[in-house]
Amino acid sequence: MSCYQDLQLAARAVRLASRLCQSVQRGLLAKETQSKSDDSPVTVADYGSQALVSWALERELPAGSFSLVAEEDSEDLGTETGAAMLTRITQLVNDTIAADSTLDAAPLTSKDVLLAIDQGRSKGGATGRHWVLDPIDGTRGFVRGDQYAVALGLLENGEIVVGVLGCPNLPMTSIAHGVPKDSNEPVGCLFTASKGAGTFVQSLDGKLQPQQVYVSNVDDPAWATFCESYESAHSNQSLTANIARVLGVTAPPVRIDSQAKYGAMARGDAVIYLRFPHPGYREKIWDHAAGSIVITEAGGAVFDAAGKSLDFSKGRFLDLERGIIATNKKLKPVVLAAVQTVLNGEQPSQKL
């Protein structure tokens, strides 16, 4: 399969899963949310989205060739509450497939759904082709009714070559000053990127044609805007405020959930993304695979606190120096210097 065909396949799968997420978010019920063993939330939509993407990819790929590294697994669906959830997930998956006039498929059984979810247990690695999926990135944002993304990448011999981000709540217009509440602006963006072929945005509903996008060309940090996680538990916001101060950034950060940040940055809404998880947290590849190629193909750079590009070839986790930074190529040296200045000035007890 060519990169172009992989990208088309990925975009169809992400659109399908995004429709399931949109319908769940519209009628979200508290009982459709569970807590995982690490206390993070997971909803019927996370499982449904993973099942749909897995199913949509596998049916189009040569038999036996499908490998998927994905966030969720079916373990928690084996419990009593899990069984009720599975029935609901199966219904959602089948309703979404039935509503798509381009798909001709028999309904999935609950067992098919479990199998599709558990395809995501692959370990990835440095050789071969592995799809990398976050079925809902920003589950907390999803539950709150805010931003989230369906994020799908393709890892080929250790390198991300395709990335698709479905961002159902992201306005098609700039969010440089934050996401307006209660606006009538159209929302729903699909970002697509493939190696050497650029990054494009189109409307998730397919009504607006793809347009090539580029990261901001701002080269003076005083004019830069930065974005970061909405959840302060996910990134040290006092550290990022210090980095911004050292850089001379004056605008307040735009805080939104999920890899929608990478999409927004790829079209120039923000100039710098700073992400510094609290000590002990290990980043997963599905939280950055699609987003990183969306940025790099738009002309930007994604790197860690040592200035190294992200390495997706080490399995399910990223092996990183301290944090993740994205910006344009001109600003990379100055942003990296500011990051290192602030990290070097930290108290030793705050270091990893």
Ligand X SMILES: Nc1ncnc2c1ncn2[C@@H]1O[C@H](COP(=O)(O)OS(=O)(=O)O)[C@@H](OP(=O)(O)O)[C@H]1O
Contacts with Mg ion by CB under 5 A lie at 40, 71, 134, 136-137, 139, 287
257 binding ligand X? (CB under 6 A) = yes
188 binding ligand X? (CB under 6 A) = no
- CB 194, CB 186: distance < 8 Å: no
* 61, 169, 261, 276, 328 from 214: Cα distances, Å: 31, 21, 14, 25, 9
Provide the minimum distance between the beta carbon of 234 and ligand X in the complex, in angstroms, as a whole number. Answer: 3
d(CA 240, CA 339): 9
User: Where does the chain have alpha helices with state H?
Assistant: 3-26, 44-58, 80-98, 110-118, 139-144, 237-247, 260-266, 289-296, 332-344
Which does residue 140 touch among ligand X, Mg ion, none (CB within 5 to 8 A, set by kind)?
ligand X
Q: Match 């975009």 to its residue by tokens.
A: 11
Contact residue for ligand X among 277, 291, 300, 323 (CB under 6 A)? 277
Cα-atom radius of gyration of the chain, to the nearest Å? Answer: 19
Provide the minimum distance between the beta carbon of 259 and ligand X in the complex, in angstroms, as a whole number. Answer: 7
230 binding ligand X? (CB under 6 A) = yes
**Could you give phi then psi for residue 347, rounded to 5 degrees?**
-65, 140
- CB 274, CB 240: distance < 8 Å: yes
288 binding ligand X? (CB under 6 A) = no
- CB 220, CB 320: distance < 8 Å: no
65 binding ligand X? (CB under 6 A) = no
Q: Which of 170, 152, 134 is nearest to 45 (CA)?
A: 134
Which does residue 6 touch among ligand X, Mg ion, none (CB within 5 to 8 A, set by kind)?
none
Provide the minimum distance between the beta carbon of 334 and Mg ion in the complex, in angstroms, as a whole number. Answer: 29
For residue 68 the two structure tokens come to 């998927």
Which does residue 229 touch among ligand X, Mg ion, none (CB within 5 to 8 A, set by kind)?
ligand X
Residues annotated as part of the active site = 46, 139
Beta bridge mates, 42: 34
Q: CB-wise, 278 or 329, nearer to ligand X?
A: 278
Contact residue for ligand X among 4, 223, 281, 317 (CB under 6 A)? 281
229 binding ligand X? (CB under 6 A) = yes
Contact residue for ligand X among 205, 231, 311, 319 (CB under 6 A)? 231
Contact residue for ligand X among 83, 105, 222, 233 (CB under 6 A)? 233
Residues in 127-186 that interact with ligand X by CB under 6 A: 134, 136-141
Neighbours of 110 (CB within 10 A): 15
Provide the minimum distance between the beta carbon of 175 and ligand X in the complex, in angstroms, as a whole number. Answer: 14
Q: CB-wise, 72 or 118, nearer to ligand X?
A: 72
Q: CB-wise, 50 or 236, nearer to Mg ion?
A: 50
For residue 288 the two structure tokens come to 């950055």
- CB 172, CB 213: distance < 8 Å: no
DSSP annotation of 69: E
Interface ranges with ligand X (CB under 6 A): 40, 71, 134, 136-141, 229-231, 233-234, 257-258, 277-278, 281, 284, 287
